[in-house]
Amino acid sequence: MKQIITGILAGLLATTLLATTAAKAADMVFTSWGGTTQEAQTKSWAEPFTAASGIKVMQDGPTDYGKLKAMVDSGSVNWDVVDVEMDFAIKAAKDGLLEPIDFTAVPKADLDPRFTTDHAVGSFYYSFVLAWNKGAVSGEPAGWADMFDLKKFPGKRTFYKWSAPGVIEIALLADGVPADKLYPLDLDRAFKKLDTIKSDIVWWGGGAESQQLIASGEATFGQLWNGRVFALEKDGADVGVSWNQNLTAADVLVVPKGAKNKDTAMKFLAAASSPAGQAKFAESSGYAPINTKAKAEMPADAVKSLPDAHVDGQINLDMNYWAANRDTIAARWYAWQAK
């Protein structure tokens, strides 16, 4: 019996030691959503940062809000910088899950104020655009209202599956709500509008899925992240895109409360949000820089494909409204979807 217990203890001890050495091998941990986005973040931010400072950055992922909360609650925070959606960041800051940003270490002057808060620095910003498969759609959709016109544009249309800023606003815009009267969102009206095309909606849960749906013609058109359309175009897919009333939203970088390498994390944020870091990332991802000086460091043709080139009629999704109403909207959203 004694031997057994000793054995178990020895085992546990060995595991703990292993875990500690593994963590020691890196100086900080960066967590994002994986895929092409995180690859671009590694290349544009982490690698130059390590080269310049000697600080090793370990990549982890995907971002998981449940995990982040569990880490903070248990006081064992393994992530130092996390890429999250902006409405989540505002809510998480209110719930006490985030460290305030140390703006003496992170230069704030050139950061786009739309995507900077006390607890978050912009990661990149993007637009929801209307994209279509040229071979599958008859004619050229001109705006969100066309996504609700089953006569003119029959076939499946694809929207973002999760409760997040975007689809509700699109439904309201299509129903004739003026852009400056969107908020507070009229949920009844939005769901009524969405009901008219519900059986023709295919939902996409992740960026790769949205690309697959449009490229294969499984959905003839849909609401996509501009970076994913950019990647499709680069791959030579026959897609059309309308920037009419494109809707901006952002990912931001946050530091979880109690992060072990907080000071290092702030240095990383400074590098990631710098003009050079932002320019490099924007060039490889097609998402827009949150540093206003970044565009000057980018090639002219890369700048042309950014949401910044389509500010005419551009609408900023209201992250503060969403942060405050995230849970109530989500409850109605999923109930409506399940019906």
Partner 1 sequence: MSVETRRNLGTVRLPAGFNGLLPALVLIVLFFVVPVLALLLRSVTEPEPGLQNYAALLGDGTYARVFFNTFLVASVVTIVTVLVAFPVAWMLAIMPSALASVVFGVIILSMWTNLLTRTYAWMVLLQRTGVINRTLIAAGVIDQPLPLINNLTGVTIGMVYIMLPFMILPLVGTLRAIDPMTLRAAALCGASPFQAFRRILVPLSLPGVAAGGLMVFVMSLGYFVTPALLGGTSNMMLAEMIAQMIQSLLNWGLGSAAAFILLVVTMALYALQLRLVGARRMSGGL
Interface with partner 1 by CB under 8 A: which residues?
A: 1, 4, 7-8, 64-67, 69, 95, 156, 161-163, 202-203, 205, 216-218, 326-327, 330, 334-335, 337-339
- Which helix (H) or strand (E) covers residue 88, if one does? helix 86-94
Nearest distance, CB of residue 242 and partner 1, angstroms: 23
Nearer to partner 1, 8 or 18 (CB): 8
- How far apart (Å, rounded) are the C-alpha atoms in residues 339 and 321? 26
Q: How far apart are CA 185 and CA 241, in angstroms?
A: 26
**Shortest distance, CB of residue 34 to partner 1, whole angstroms?**
13
Q: How far is the CB of 37 from partner 1 (least distance, A)?
A: 18
Least Cβ distance, residue 335 to partner 1 (angstroms): 4
CB of 318 to partner 1, least distance (A): 19
**Residue 197, token pair as written in the block:** 């095309």
Q: Which is nearer to partner 1, 131 or 282 (CB)?
A: 131
Nearest residue (CB) to partner 1, 66 versus 176: 66
Give least dist CB 291 to partner 1, A. 29
Choose between 18 and 335: whose C-beta lies nearer to partner 1: 335
Please, which residue, 250 or 269, has the CB nearer to partner 1?
250
Q: Which is nearer to partner 1, 181 or 339 (CB)?
A: 339
Which residues are CB-contacts of 103 (< 8 A; sequence separation ≥ 6)? none
- Shortest Å, Cβ 95 to partner 1: 8
CA 190/CA 211 separation, integer angstroms: 25
* CA distance linking residue 1 with residue 64, whole number of Å: 41
Report the Cα–Cα distance between both ends of the chain, in Å, rounded.
57
User: What does the alpha-carbon distance between residue 228 and residue 88 come to, in Å, rounded to a whole number?
Assistant: 22
Fill in the DSSP letter of residue 46: I
How far apart, in whole angstroms, are the C-alpha atoms of residue 224 and residue 238? 15
Cα 215 → chain centroid: 22
> Nearer to partner 1 by C-beta: 22 or 335?
335
Beta strand 57-60 with 81-85 is: unpaired
Burial class (CB in 10 A: 0-12, 13-18, 19+), 224: buried
